[in-house]
Amino acid sequence: MRDKNDFSEGTLALKNLLLEPPMENSLNIRWTFRHYFALFARLVLAAVFIYAAFGKINNPLIFAEEIRMYEILDLSPLLYIIAIVLPWVELLCGIAFITGIFIRGASFTLAIMNMGFIAVIAYRTLSIMNSGDTSFLNVFFDCGCGFGPTYAWKKLLEDTGLLGLSLILLFTREHRFVLLRLRK
C-alpha cells in the first residue's frame, strides 16, 4: 500500500522549491523594522505595476506606438511582442508581491526591467535634449509607463526608487504574509 508521504522525487523537488518550510503564523512572531519595510516595498511595487499593467494590457497597439516613440525599435514583430507580453509580466509580478509567491523571482524581474526602463528613458531624454535644446529639467514626454506624460527627471527618480525597492526585496529574507515560502 502506498504511503501518503511517499512523494516521488520530482514531486519532492517541486515541493522543496515551492512550499518548504510550512507557513509560520505571521501574527505571533515579533515584527522587526525589516519585516515592515519588506511588506511596504512589496505593496508599493505591487500597486505601481498592477496599475501600470492594467492601462496597457487592453491597448497593445497604443503601447507599441509609445515604445516606438523611443526610436530604438522600428515597427516590427518584436515591438508588438514586447507590447503584448510586458504588461502581463508586470501584472504577474504585482500579483506575486501581493500573494507572496515567487517574491524573489518577481523582484529580480522587476529589477532588470527597471534598469532597462531607466536606460531607455535616459536615452530618449538625451535625444530630446540634443534635438530641441531643452534643458534636462524641462524634458517632458509620455514614457509609455502607464501614468501619462510627465517630466523625465521625475520618471527617472521614480524608476530609480522602484529599482531600489526591487533590489532590497531581492536580498531580504524577512518576509511575512506570504503564501509560499522558499527554503532558506
Partner 1 sequence: MRMRHTIIQMVVIWSIGIAVAFSYNAFSDKGINPFIKIVYEESMKTPVSEEGEGIVLIDLKQLRELSRDNMYILDASTEDDYREGHIPGAILFDFYQFETYADRVLPLIDPEGDIIVYCSSPFCDSSSFLATELYSMGYFNIYLYKDGFSNWQDKGLPVEKGLQ
Environment class of residue 149 by beta-carbon count within 10 Å: exposed (0-12), middle (13-18) or buried (19+)? Answer: exposed
Among 38, 52, 97, 102, binds partner 1 (CB under 8 A): 102
What part of residues 143-172 is at the interface with partner 1 (CB under 8 A)? 170
Least Å distance between CB 102 and partner 1? 4
Of the ranges 33-41, 87-95, 120-128, 131-139, which one interacts with partner 1 (CB under 8 A)?
87-95
If one asks whether residue 128 binds partner 1 (CB under 8 A), the answer comes out as no
Q: Could you tell me the sign of the dihedral formed by the alpha carbons of 94, 100, 101, 104, in that order? A: positive
If one asks whether residue 108 binds partner 1 (CB under 8 A), the answer comes out as yes
Least Å distance between CB 58 and partner 1? 6
Among 96, 143, 156, 165, binds partner 1 (CB under 8 A): 96
In angstroms, the Cα distances linking 142 to 66, 87, 90, 99, 150 are 8, 16, 18, 31, 6
- Residue 152: which residues within 8 A CB-CB, separation 6 or more? 121, 124, 125, 128, 136, 139, 140, 141, 143
If one asks whether residue 17 binds partner 1 (CB under 8 A), the answer comes out as yes
In angstroms, the Cα distances linking 83 to 53, 76, 78, 138, 144 are 11, 11, 9, 28, 10
Size of the site for partner 1 (CB under 8 A): 32
Which residues lie near partner 1 (CB under 8 A)? 17, 57-62, 64-65, 68, 75, 77, 80-81, 83-85, 87-89, 91-93, 96, 102, 104-106, 108-109, 170, 182
